[in-house]
Amino acid sequence: MTAAYRIRRQIGIDAGHRIRLHGSKCRHLHGHRYTIEAVCEADQLAGEGEQAGMVLDFAFLKDEMIGQIDAPCDHGFIAELADIELLAMFTPAEAGRVEFVEKLDTAVREQGFAVPDHTALGTKLYVIPVPPTAENLARHWFERLAPRVATRSEGRARLARVVVWETPNCAAEWP
């Protein structure tokens, strides 16, 4: 690691998922109490303004983590786009499965994820292009947060790492 100032912020969310091709019990629908930690760093602290003496205001980092992770995922289901059988459960009655999945596919291609505004179960659904493993979620959320950290710090800070705990004993991080 470089010689830099670092800050850390954690949030917790509850979300369901399944790992479609897993050979054991993780292929079943289940949930986790995820803890997500963002580590930001800067070579120099802000010299003036409301963030004077800071890498990034903790409240700003929390706002971004809530907006990019908590709001779309907490108490929802995180799914892989290729998990057609699972997505069928969420398809609204008035929409055909093919049409529903095509809309999700378009959103995933355009922005890297999809959040439909309506599902059959009336629950949150967050769709990503890869299996929702802790490793993939760490990278995905890193990619969503990194530009927000740069913007909120006026280019001074960078996101150094995102760590995702699925359980108190198991974590993955990116990079």
Q: What is the 3-state secondary structure (H, E, C) of 23-45?
A: CCHHHCCEEEEEEEEEEEEECCC
142, two tokens: 């890193």
Map out the domains of the chain with their CATH numbers: 5-14+36-174 (3.30.479.10)
The model scores a pTM over 0.85: yes
Q: Are 44 and 156 in contact (CB under 8 A)?
A: yes
Residues 124-151 pLDDT 10s: 999 999 999 999 999 999 999 999 999 9
- pLDDT one-digit tens code per residue, 89-120: 999 988 899 999 999 999 999 999 999 999 99
Residue with tokens 């710090």: 153
DSSP 3-state of 50: coil
Q: Residue 98's Cα: distance from chain center in Å?
A: 26
Report DSSP letters for 101-130, one per residue: HHHHHHHHHHHS-B--S--TTS-EEEEESS
